[in-house]
Structure formats: C-alpha cells, structure tokens
Amino acid sequence: MDFGSLLSKSIVFLLSQVYTDIIYLMKPDTSVFLINVNTGYRKKDKTSIIGENLNANLIEGELTCLLGPNGAGKSTLLRTLSAFLPPISGEIQFYGRPLSDYTTNELSRLIGVVLTDRLDVRDMPVSDLVALGRSPYTGFFGKLNHKDREIVQEALMMTGTVALADRMVHTLSDGERQKVLIAKTLAQQTPIILLDEPTAFLDYPSKVELMHLLRNLARKTRKTIFLSTHDLELALQVADRIWLIDKEKGLTTGIPEDLALNGLLSKYFERDGIFFSIETGLFQVKEQTEKDIPATGPEHIVRLVSKSFARHGIRIVPVEKGNNPDVFPQIIIRPDKEKEFCFEYFWHPDNQTKQVYSSIETLTAAVINSEGKNESGI
C-alpha cells in the first residue's frame, strides 16, 4: 500500500471517530451509529454493493422507520444492522462499541429481531412462544424460573396479548401474530428491536394499531425501535424519525416534518401522477383537471368535494381566488336543518337556477351533467 493511500485511509478513520464523538456528545442517548457503511453481498470473488457511504444514527426512546422504493436496499440494511450480514466496509457501533466486537451471546441480549417470515408453528401455545424470548438467559435446557415467567407475563401485558396466552399460535390472525412476536422480543429484554416490514400482511386498522403499539413501547421502555416498511403515509404520521434510502440518492434522515419542509420526501418518492402535499403532509394522487369551479364552505367539506370533482377533471378553487367573486357556476356549502350540510349549485347569476343537493355524489353527478350540456351547447 502506497503512502498516499495509507494517509487517505487514516484521515477517513480519524474523521469517522470525530463524527462519532460529536454525535454522541450532541445526543448522549444515541444507541446506534452507522459510519461510512457500505452494505451488500460477497460471493466468492464478487462483491455487490447495495447501499453506499451510509451515515446515520438511532436514538433511544424513538420509533424510526426506514422508507424507500423497491430495490433500494432496505432489507439488506436491516440484515446488516441485525448482524446477519457483515458490512462490506465502514463501521456499525452499538453504544460506541463496534458491532463486530460483540459475541453471539452478547448480541442475543442486545438486539431483538422480528422478521416478515410467516410462522409455521403447530400446537404451541402463545405463552410458550413468548417464553422463547428468554432463551439467551435460560441456558441449554431453557427452564424458566419465577423471574422469567414474570418477564413473559409482563411482555404479554405490554402488547395486550394476555388473553391470547393459551391460544395455539397457528390459530392467530396476522395482527395477533405480529403482536405476539413483539411480545417475544420484549421478553428477550434487548435495548434494540429491529423489525422487517411488520405491517406487511395486516389490514389498515391493524397496521395503525401495531405502529402505535411500537411507538408507545419506545416511549415507555426507552428502547430503540427501528423498522422497514412500505406503509409510507402511516410512517410519516406515526414515526419519530425517518430514514430515506435510495440507491442513487443514498441515505437521508430526519423527523418527518423537516423532510417534508426541505423537499426531500418529494425528491425521494414523487413520480408521474403522485405528489407530496406540504399542506396535508401526505402524498396525493395528481389528477389532470381542465376546468375550475369556485366553491365556498367549511374547509374540510370543500376538500372532500375537491377529491370527487378532481376524478372528473374539475378543480375546485376558493371563490376569493377567482377572477370575479361573482363568477358562475359556483358551489356554496351551507349548514342544513335536516342534514349536517347541503350543497347549493349556482350555474347562472339568476338565483332561480339554484339547485340544492344532499350529498357529494348527487352534486358531482349534477355538475358533470350540466357541464356536459354546456360544452355541447344544450
């Protein structure tokens, strides 16, 4: 190795140490550091790099979500953090100590992992599955003492699965199974929990329930909880911190609101037909509109009317932003005695032409019909 190469490597090493020290001083509750990490696979003489020059950190007491398109390297990164794969280069530290320095037994008490693989377990009670989380502490024969049983019971209580304790694992729903696997990891008593797409097979209410459970556990137990997910909008609403990963753009981290404000969410995920709305903090479908109709009324109702009309190529705009406040046609949404709201549609300055509708569906149909007649000259 020549002197220049050696000097370059020495500088990189020193800078990485400075980076670690500064981050740790700024955030003394930081549990995990990634320092110039390259992730990927080694096969004989070939090395495939998936993620390059990754620098980030995880913080105790926070739920962090890893987001990115398919093929971005989410699973590879998670497997690397779980010590299932060694990094190609760079260093991962847990509490300031290199991951490579930990023994297998130490890692089993440091990291709890929940994978997406479906359990194929028959005739095992839930309580026995959760008790397997005590394996790092119970020795070869796996005999539970009184303290172990208390820890298992506490894990069931924290995940709301006490009522499932005597059920057979194979009879559980997907949502119940995921909560039981999290209970097993809690029984393992590791300060760090890593989950690979835990909401993948769940219906939407179960996804929300599970994400709230994980965030609350992070808060109450001060554990570091990190998961990969494709549930973009849910992660943006629930996560304390987001890691955005892309093969070309690399890894960017921050709280969801900052990532929205500085345009990084748009940069990573916007495609034709979809855009990030800074107003709602969520991604929306971009509809092609050809005509504007002014509307006035409660903001949340106007927003729902806008969604319906956009599917038909009509954009709803505020009355005050029109070229003429008396422009026609226009829609006015008012309180109604019999129903919460009624929808008045004025398609001509003559008030005699006002039409009143009781639902967004009937309003939309009438407006589309009248607009079709206007265009055809009827």
Q: What is the pLDDT of residue 7?
A: 46
How confident is the prediction for the chain on average, in pLDDT?
84
Contact call for residues 179 and 63 (beta carbons, < 8 A): no
Q: What is the pLDDT of residue 290?
A: 79
The lowest-confidence range among 6-15, 82-91, 134-143 is 6-15
Token digits of residue 209: 């329930």
In the block, tokens 């994980």 appear at: 214
CA distance 77 to 84: 10
> Using CA of residue 328, residue 329, residue 335, residue 337, what is the dihedral sign?
positive
Q: What 3 state SS string does 227-253 have?
A: EECCCHHHHHHHCCEEEEEECCCEEEE
- What's the gap between Cα 190 and its chain centre? 22
CA distance 97 to 169: 37
Token digits of residue 193: 């929990």
pLDDT score of 145 more than 60: yes
Region 49-73: mean pLDDT is: 93
CA distance 23 to 15: 12
Domains of the chain, by residue range, sit at: 58-89+190-282, 291-375
User: What is the dihedral angle through the alpha carbons of 39, 41, 46, 50, rounded to the nearest 10 degrees?
Assistant: -40
Task: Calculate what percentage of the chain has a pLDDT beyond 70.
Answer: 84
Task: Calculate what percentage of the chain has a pLDDT beyond 90.
Answer: 51
Q: What is the pLDDT of residue 28?
A: 53
Q: What is the pLDDT of residue 271?
A: 73
pLDDT score of 55 more than 50: yes
Give Dmax over CA atoms of the chain in angstroms.
90
Helices (H), 36-87: 74-81
CA distance 375 to 363: 18
pLDDT score of 10 more than 50: no
The pTM (predicted TM-score) of the whole model is 0.79
The lowest-confidence range among 7-21, 47-61, 142-156, 272-286 is 7-21
User: For 249-262, how does the pLDDT look when each residue is reduced to its tens digit (9 = 90+)?
Assistant: 899 999 999 998 88
Nearest CA among 242, 278, 263, 266 for reference residue 67: 242
CA distance 227 to 243: 10
Phi, psi dihedral angles at 274 (to 5 degrees): -145, 140
Q: What is the pLDDT of residue 8?
A: 52
Q: What 8-state DSSP symbol labels residue 345?
A: E
Read off the pLDDT band of 6 (50, 70, 90).
Answer: very low
CA distance 193 to 179: 13
pLDDT score of 351 more than 80: no
Element spanning 191, H or E = none
Q: For the CA atoms of the chain, what is the radius of gyration?
A: 27
CA distance 275 to 264: 12
Q: With both helix axes pointing from N to C terminus, report the angle between 174-187 and 146-158 in degrees, rounded to the nearest 10.
A: 140
Q: How many CB atoms lie within 10 A of CB 86?
A: 13
CA distance 353 to 368: 16
Name which residue leads in pLDDT, 108 or 116.
108
Q: How many CB atoms lie within 10 A of CB 238?
A: 19
CA distance 187 to 166: 17
User: What is the dihedral angle through the alpha carbons of 79, 84, 89, 94, rounded to the nearest 10 degrees?
Assistant: 80
In the block, tokens 């991962």 appear at: 92
Q: What is the pLDDT of residue 26?
A: 47
CA distance 9 to 345: 71
In the block, tokens 């955030």 appear at: 27
CATH architecture of 58-89+190-282: 3-Layer(aba) Sandwich (3.40)
- Render the burial of 286-313: b for 16+ CB within 10 Å, e for the rest: eeebeeebbbebeeeebeebbebbbeee
